[in-house]
Structure 1
Amino acid sequence: MTEFVKTYVEDSVLHIVMDRADKKNAITQAMYMAMTEALVGARTDDSVRVVMIGAKGENFSAGNDIADFMQIGQGEGSLTDSDVFRFLKALADLDKPLVAAVRGRAVGVGLTMLLHCDLVVVAKDAQLSAPFINLALVPEAASTLLLPRVLGHARAFELFALGEPIDGSQACDWGLANRAVHASVVDTVAVELALRLAERAPNAIRQTKGLMRDAGAMWELMLREGEIFSAQMRSPEAVEAFSAFMQKRKPSF
């Protein structure tokens, strides 16, 4: 486990809280492992009816911890065997309602994990982005299917290809979130929604969610994305993109 992820159950809601505010909640492998264990455990824990994911500090998540992620990319084997992908599979497999509370930046996986949430509350001034191509990578978390399904091809392609952020109000207007509220009440509103879900017939909710999603198909796509992602991480494009990122310059492709 890790000190950077806190979990607790209150009123039938499992709270998963990223707590690495000084690093904008950039996610390490240890954090992925802790969140995966919490999600997997929630499936068979009858005391849990709803899962809520949030974060301490001003930002939801800056995405993958770059140094941590580069180390994985330089190793042998496929990224699909990593804790990142165990977390993504746990998201796909979760059959209980998942609520997210989002403030500040939600970058990369900080955005794509929201596509696996059933209710999302965002701050109006939150900044959501999917800058995978900026790092010469491809999207993950079955987002190549889920984001166009929500936004349509043109808007999804723009988010992926240009990597520019949209704010929380726009995300809500586009269907990426259920509520856009002031940052100070994001957690309060998300908890209220989670508690309302927890009062509903639990099996009916799980069955309904299951009918709305195909976890197996999403995992198959995640694996396809992961294989391409792994290959791209070792490509000359990615070497240049990551070097430019670390040197704070524009990449030359």
Structure 2
Amino acid sequence: MSFISTSSSDGVLTITIDRLAQKNALSLEMYKDLTAALLELEKNNELKVAVIQGDTTCFTAGNDLNDFLTGGALTEAHPTVVFLRTLVTLTKPLIASVAGPAIGIGTTLLMHCDLVYAADNAVFQLPFSKLGLCPEAGSSAILPMLSGRVKAFELLVLGNKFDANEAQQVGLINKVVKVEDLFSTVDEVAHQIANLPAMSVRASKGLIVDSQKENINQVITHELKYFEQLLGSEECKSIISSFFKK
């Protein structure tokens, strides 16, 4: 069963994470489906922009840890790594619609989106150090650019939860809206983009992000090296084992 669904309308591709019983935790199969959806956006000339969303109570609680731990080495063929590389190289706009928890990758993937809207019930967290791990998805480079070095250290190392207003202050999201208005707000913006000249939009995105792609890919490679080492450490294994016992 796939927990990633897609639908399209008037040039807008909507990608929905739908695994609420597990708080939309991302399995390796879900990463494959997310990548497939992004690749469909890239190759389909009828599609101009994509929206990624959960529902009004949860965006994603992050990785399915049990699935992730048994998923093998973090090589370039690993579903998570393929997804991250696809995010970095995407040439069409990606909008995030965030409500409820956005934990771990649920926050770091937002750093690769072109627009991010959050409901007033959104909660963000980067709990890598708490799990005995390190930043991923290029966040160790992107977040300091957004928030400044000391704030990035606070969010990535202390790993405490923060709300949508703070996320907006650090430059992670564009706007905070009422939860009941989230989907309609994002839909309106997505269709606004879809109605713009497509080549102009792609050129503009390219000018904004292309100069950073090579560096971000290098950062991701560096992060993965440390992440895999830490994932195999006894300290991390002990923390995650305690997590499952809870």
Whether 2:182 is the aligned partner of 1:182: answer no
2:56–2:179 Cα contact (<8 Å) kept? no
- What does the per-residue CA deviation read over 1:53-81, in whole Å, with 9 as the maximum and x for residues that have no partner? 00135100000011111212xx4x33543
The 1:117–1:169 alpha-carbon spacing in structure 2 relative to 1, beyond 3 Å, is same
- Other structure's SS at 1:58 match: coil
d(CA) in 2 for partners of 1:46, 1:216? 26
1:43–1:95 Cα contact (<8 Å) kept? yes
Whether 2:12 is the aligned partner of 1:13: answer yes
Residue from 232, 235, 248 that aligns with 2:233: 235
Whether 2:137 is the aligned partner of 1:141: answer yes
2:55–2:99 Cα contact (<8 Å) kept? no
Residue matched to 2:242: 244
- What does the per-residue CA deviation read over 1:4-44, in whole Å, with 9 as the maximum and x for residues that have no partner? 00011111011110011111100001100001011112112
1:115–1:143 Cα contact (<8 Å) kept? yes
Residue from 219, 222, 232 that aligns with 1:221: 219
Between stretches 145-154 and 238-247, larger displacement belongs to: 238-247
2:95–2:114 Cα contact (<8 Å) kept? yes
2:136–2:223 Cα contact (<8 Å) kept? yes
Residue matched to 2:65: 66
Aligned-partner residue type, residue 66 of structure 2: A
2:74–2:81 Cα contact (<8 Å) kept? no
d(CA) in 2 for partners of 1:106, 1:189? 19
Between stretches 54-63 and 208-217, larger displacement belongs to: 208-217
Residue matched to 1:42: 41
The 1:239–1:79 alpha-carbon spacing in structure 2 relative to 1, beyond 3 Å, is farther
1:25–1:55 Cα contact (<8 Å) kept? yes
Whether 2:166 is the aligned partner of 1:170: answer yes
Between stretches 29-38 and 173-182, larger displacement belongs to: 173-182
CA RMSD of aligned residues (A): 1.3
Q: TM-score, with normalisation over the residues of structure 2?
A: 0.95
- Tell me how far 1:142 sits from its aligned partner: 0.6
Residue from 101, 105, 110 that aligns with 2:101: 105
- Other structure's SS at 1:67 match: helix
- Other structure's SS at 1:34 match: helix
Gaps of 5+ in 1: 249-253
**Runs ≥4 in structure 1, deviation > 6 angstroms?**
none
d(CA) in 2 for partners of 1:123, 1:56? 11
Residue from 68, 85, 90 that aligns with 2:86: 90
Count of matched residue pairs: 244
d(CA) in 2 for partners of 1:215, 1:63? 24
d(CA) in 2 for partners of 1:37, 1:216? 22
- Other structure's SS at 1:9 match: strand
The 1:57–1:79 alpha-carbon spacing in structure 2 relative to 1, beyond 3 Å, is farther
Q: TM-score, with normalisation over the residues of structure 1?
A: 0.93
The 1:40–1:79 alpha-carbon spacing in structure 2 relative to 1, beyond 3 Å, is same
Whether 2:77 is the aligned partner of 1:81: answer yes
Instruction: Give the % identical residues.
Output: 35
- Other structure's SS at 1:81 match: coil
- Other structure's SS at 1:60 match: coil
